[in-house]
Amino acid sequence: MKGTLYLIPCPISEETAPWDVLPAANKAVMDGLDYFIVENTRTARRFLSKAGVARPIDELEFRELNEHTAAGREVEELIAPLLAGRSAGVISEAGVPGVADPGALAVEACHRHGIRVVPLTGPSSIVLAMMASGLNGQSFAFNGYLPVKPPERAQAIRRLERRARSEGQSQMFIEAPYRNAKLMEQLLQVLAPATRLTLAMDLTAPGEFIATRTVEEWRRSRLPEMQKRPAIFIVG
Protein backbone atom coordinates (compact mmCIF):
# COMPACT_ATOMS: atom_id res chain seq x y z
CA MET A 1 0.00 0.00 0.00
CA LYS A 2 1.32 3.41 -0.96
CA GLY A 3 1.86 6.24 1.52
CA THR A 4 0.23 9.67 1.44
CA LEU A 5 1.83 13.02 0.63
CA TYR A 6 0.66 15.76 3.00
CA LEU A 7 1.18 19.41 2.04
CA ILE A 8 1.95 21.14 5.34
CA PRO A 9 1.67 24.95 5.52
CA CYS A 10 3.94 26.90 7.83
CA PRO A 11 3.86 30.53 9.00
CA ILE A 12 4.67 33.15 6.39
CA SER A 13 6.62 35.17 8.94
CA GLU A 14 9.12 33.74 11.41
CA GLU A 15 7.82 36.31 13.89
CA THR A 16 4.49 34.45 14.01
CA ALA A 17 3.98 31.44 16.27
CA PRO A 18 2.82 28.36 14.29
CA TRP A 19 -0.46 27.82 16.11
CA ASP A 20 -1.42 31.48 15.82
CA VAL A 21 -1.99 30.94 12.08
CA LEU A 22 -2.32 27.18 11.60
CA PRO A 23 -5.38 25.05 12.46
CA ALA A 24 -4.88 22.74 15.42
CA ALA A 25 -6.01 19.78 13.30
CA ASN A 26 -2.72 19.94 11.36
CA LYS A 27 -0.75 18.82 14.40
CA ALA A 28 -2.15 15.31 14.40
CA VAL A 29 -0.91 14.83 10.84
CA MET A 30 2.50 16.32 11.63
CA ASP A 31 2.88 14.15 14.72
CA GLY A 32 2.31 11.02 12.64
CA LEU A 33 5.09 11.67 10.13
CA ASP A 34 8.79 10.92 10.30
CA TYR A 35 9.73 11.80 6.69
CA PHE A 36 9.67 15.35 5.31
CA ILE A 37 10.43 16.76 1.86
CA VAL A 38 11.44 20.36 2.51
CA GLU A 39 12.74 23.44 0.75
CA ASN A 40 15.29 24.05 3.50
CA THR A 41 16.17 21.57 6.23
CA ARG A 42 17.27 24.12 8.82
CA THR A 43 14.09 26.21 8.66
CA ALA A 44 11.87 23.12 8.47
CA ARG A 45 13.46 21.69 11.61
CA ARG A 46 12.97 25.02 13.37
CA PHE A 47 9.31 25.18 12.32
CA LEU A 48 8.57 21.64 13.53
CA SER A 49 10.38 22.34 16.79
CA LYS A 50 8.33 25.51 17.39
CA ALA A 51 5.19 23.56 16.49
CA GLY A 52 6.00 21.03 19.22
CA VAL A 53 5.68 17.88 17.13
CA ALA A 54 5.52 14.66 19.10
CA ARG A 55 8.68 12.98 17.79
CA PRO A 56 12.18 14.24 18.60
CA ILE A 57 13.48 16.34 15.71
CA ASP A 58 16.66 14.27 15.45
CA GLU A 59 14.57 11.16 14.74
CA LEU A 60 12.95 12.75 11.69
CA GLU A 61 14.30 12.36 8.16
CA PHE A 62 14.57 15.44 5.92
CA ARG A 63 15.22 15.52 2.19
CA GLU A 64 15.50 18.80 0.31
CA LEU A 65 13.52 19.79 -2.77
CA ASN A 66 14.42 23.28 -3.95
CA GLU A 67 15.58 25.26 -6.97
CA HIS A 68 18.72 23.12 -7.14
CA THR A 69 16.78 19.85 -7.44
CA ALA A 70 16.67 18.43 -10.96
CA ALA A 71 13.26 17.25 -12.15
CA GLY A 72 13.20 13.59 -12.99
CA ARG A 73 15.40 11.09 -11.19
CA GLU A 74 16.05 13.25 -8.10
CA VAL A 75 12.36 13.83 -7.53
CA GLU A 76 11.61 10.15 -8.12
CA GLU A 77 14.12 9.30 -5.39
CA LEU A 78 12.35 11.67 -3.00
CA ILE A 79 8.99 9.95 -3.43
CA ALA A 80 10.37 6.40 -3.48
CA PRO A 81 9.57 5.92 0.24
CA LEU A 82 5.92 6.76 -0.47
CA LEU A 83 5.76 4.06 -3.12
CA ALA A 84 7.01 1.69 -0.42
CA GLY A 85 4.20 2.70 1.94
CA ARG A 86 5.76 5.52 3.99
CA SER A 87 3.87 8.83 4.22
CA ALA A 88 5.60 12.19 3.92
CA GLY A 89 5.02 15.87 4.54
CA VAL A 90 6.08 18.69 2.19
CA ILE A 91 7.13 21.93 3.87
CA SER A 92 7.87 25.18 2.05
CA GLU A 93 10.06 28.02 3.29
CA ALA A 94 6.93 30.07 4.03
CA GLY A 95 3.21 29.63 3.58
CA VAL A 96 1.69 26.79 1.58
CA PRO A 97 3.68 24.20 -0.38
CA GLY A 98 3.24 23.78 -4.12
CA VAL A 99 2.18 27.37 -4.87
CA ALA A 100 5.11 29.42 -6.18
CA ASP A 101 7.13 26.67 -4.54
CA PRO A 102 9.32 23.77 -5.75
CA GLY A 103 7.21 21.33 -3.74
CA ALA A 104 4.95 21.19 -6.79
CA LEU A 105 7.46 18.79 -8.36
CA ALA A 106 6.83 16.24 -5.62
CA VAL A 107 3.08 16.69 -5.97
CA GLU A 108 3.24 16.16 -9.73
CA ALA A 109 5.32 13.01 -9.32
CA CYS A 110 2.90 11.61 -6.74
CA HIS A 111 -0.05 12.11 -9.07
CA ARG A 112 1.80 10.25 -11.83
CA HIS A 113 2.35 7.31 -9.48
CA GLY A 114 -1.16 7.27 -8.04
CA ILE A 115 -0.05 8.47 -4.60
CA ARG A 116 -2.71 10.29 -2.62
CA VAL A 117 -2.01 14.01 -2.09
CA VAL A 118 -3.65 15.81 0.85
CA PRO A 119 -3.39 19.63 1.13
CA LEU A 120 -3.71 20.98 4.68
CA THR A 121 -5.16 24.37 5.54
CA GLY A 122 -2.82 27.27 6.28
CA PRO A 123 -1.78 30.79 5.33
CA SER A 124 -1.07 31.65 1.68
CA SER A 125 0.39 35.10 1.07
CA ILE A 126 -1.16 35.12 -2.41
CA VAL A 127 -4.67 34.41 -1.16
CA LEU A 128 -4.36 36.72 1.87
CA ALA A 129 -3.15 39.61 -0.28
CA MET A 130 -5.98 39.07 -2.76
CA MET A 131 -8.55 38.89 0.02
CA ALA A 132 -7.40 42.18 1.51
CA SER A 133 -6.87 44.10 -1.74
CA GLY A 134 -10.42 45.03 -2.66
CA LEU A 135 -9.54 44.23 -6.28
CA ASN A 136 -11.26 41.61 -8.44
CA GLY A 137 -11.13 38.31 -6.58
CA GLN A 138 -13.31 36.55 -9.17
CA SER A 139 -10.50 36.59 -11.72
CA PHE A 140 -6.85 37.01 -10.82
CA ALA A 141 -3.45 35.73 -11.94
CA PHE A 142 -0.21 35.22 -10.09
CA ASN A 143 2.73 36.09 -12.35
CA GLY A 144 5.68 35.31 -10.09
CA TYR A 145 8.73 37.54 -10.60
CA LEU A 146 8.91 40.26 -13.24
CA PRO A 147 12.10 40.72 -15.30
CA VAL A 148 14.98 42.35 -13.42
CA LYS A 149 16.20 44.67 -16.19
CA PRO A 150 14.21 47.94 -16.17
CA PRO A 151 13.32 48.06 -19.92
CA GLU A 152 12.01 44.48 -19.89
CA ARG A 153 10.28 45.03 -16.56
CA ALA A 154 8.54 48.14 -17.92
CA GLN A 155 7.20 46.10 -20.84
CA ALA A 156 5.93 43.45 -18.44
CA ILE A 157 4.24 46.06 -16.25
CA ARG A 158 2.46 47.59 -19.26
CA ARG A 159 1.38 44.14 -20.43
CA LEU A 160 -0.11 43.29 -17.02
CA GLU A 161 -1.86 46.65 -16.84
CA ARG A 162 -3.43 46.07 -20.27
CA ARG A 163 -4.65 42.66 -19.15
CA ALA A 164 -6.10 44.11 -15.96
CA ARG A 165 -7.98 46.71 -17.98
CA SER A 166 -9.16 44.55 -20.89
CA GLU A 167 -10.06 41.43 -18.92
CA GLY A 168 -10.77 42.92 -15.49
CA GLN A 169 -8.30 40.39 -14.11
CA SER A 170 -6.22 41.35 -11.07
CA GLN A 171 -2.49 40.84 -11.79
CA MET A 172 -0.28 39.71 -8.89
CA PHE A 173 3.50 39.52 -8.76
CA ILE A 174 6.40 39.53 -6.32
CA GLU A 175 9.99 40.70 -6.07
CA ALA A 176 13.06 39.87 -4.05
CA PRO A 177 12.63 41.96 -0.87
CA TYR A 178 15.83 43.96 -1.43
CA ARG A 179 14.48 45.09 -4.84
CA ASN A 180 10.99 46.09 -3.66
CA ALA A 181 11.69 49.83 -3.66
CA LYS A 182 13.08 49.78 -7.22
CA LEU A 183 10.04 47.87 -8.44
CA MET A 184 7.63 50.23 -6.69
CA GLU A 185 9.45 53.21 -8.17
CA GLN A 186 9.07 51.83 -11.68
CA LEU A 187 5.43 50.87 -11.13
CA LEU A 188 4.64 54.47 -10.23
CA GLN A 189 6.49 55.70 -13.30
CA VAL A 190 4.91 53.29 -15.81
CA LEU A 191 1.33 52.71 -14.65
CA ALA A 192 -1.49 55.11 -15.50
CA PRO A 193 -2.58 57.48 -12.70
CA ALA A 194 -6.03 55.86 -12.37
CA THR A 195 -4.72 52.29 -12.16
CA ARG A 196 -5.18 50.74 -8.73
CA LEU A 197 -2.15 49.20 -7.07
CA THR A 198 -2.08 47.05 -3.94
CA LEU A 199 1.02 46.68 -1.79
CA ALA A 200 0.85 43.90 0.82
CA MET A 201 3.91 43.35 3.05
CA ASP A 202 4.80 41.18 6.04
CA LEU A 203 1.48 39.34 5.91
CA THR A 204 0.43 37.84 9.28
CA ALA A 205 3.45 39.46 10.98
CA PRO A 206 3.13 42.17 13.67
CA GLY A 207 4.25 44.81 11.16
CA GLU A 208 1.77 43.78 8.45
CA PHE A 209 1.04 46.50 5.87
CA ILE A 210 -1.73 46.31 3.25
CA ALA A 211 -2.95 49.24 1.16
CA THR A 212 -4.74 49.70 -2.17
CA ARG A 213 -4.55 53.12 -3.81
CA THR A 214 -4.59 54.58 -7.28
CA VAL A 215 -1.17 55.20 -8.74
CA GLU A 216 -1.82 58.92 -8.47
CA GLU A 217 -2.59 58.54 -4.75
CA TRP A 218 0.58 56.48 -4.25
CA ARG A 219 2.60 59.19 -5.99
CA ARG A 220 1.28 61.82 -3.58
CA SER A 221 1.76 59.72 -0.45
CA ARG A 222 4.80 58.87 1.59
CA LEU A 223 5.84 55.35 0.73
CA PRO A 224 6.40 52.84 3.55
CA GLU A 225 9.77 51.26 4.16
CA MET A 226 9.97 48.27 1.79
CA GLN A 227 13.49 46.95 1.99
CA LYS A 228 13.84 43.36 3.22
CA ARG A 229 10.06 43.01 3.68
CA PRO A 230 8.34 40.16 1.78
CA ALA A 231 5.76 41.82 -0.44
CA ILE A 232 3.06 41.10 -2.99
CA PHE A 233 2.02 43.66 -5.60
CA ILE A 234 -1.37 43.62 -7.34
CA VAL A 235 -2.43 45.72 -10.31
CA GLY A 236 -6.14 46.10 -10.89
Q: What is the DSSP letter of 70?
A: P
214-223: average pLDDT: 97
Number of domains in the chain: 2
Domain shared by 87 and 158, yes or no: no
Domain shared by 139 and 83, yes or no: no
| Domain end among 119, 146, 175 | 119
| Domain end among 75, 93, 119 | 119
Give the sign of the dihedral formed by CA 176, CA 182, CA 185, CA 187.
Answer: negative
Q: Which residues pair with 59 in a beta bridge?
A: none
pLDDT at 54 over 80: yes
Interatomic CA distance for residues 89 and 29, integer angstroms: 9
| Domain end among 61, 93, 119 | 119
Domain shared by 141 and 109, yes or no: no
- The reported pLDDT for the residue numbered 70 is 77
pLDDT at 61 over 80: yes
Question: Which pLDDT tens digit goes with each residue over 85-125?
Answer: 999 999 999 999 999 999 999 999 999 999 999 999 999 99
Residue 99 sits at φ, ψ, to 5 deg, of: -115, 115
Domain shared by 133 and 95, yes or no: no
Question: Which pLDDT tens digit goes with each residue over 163-198?
Answer: 999 999 999 999 999 999 999 999 999 999 999 999
Q: In what order do the strands lie in the sheet with 116-119?
A: 61-64, 35-38, 88-91, 4-8, 116-119
211: left (phi over 0), alpha (psi -120 to 50) or beta: beta
pLDDT at 67 over 90: no
Q: 180: closest CA among 217, 221, 229?
A: 229
Determine the structural domain holding residue 83 and report its residue range.
Answer: 4-119
**Pair 169, 141: CB distance under 8 Å:** yes
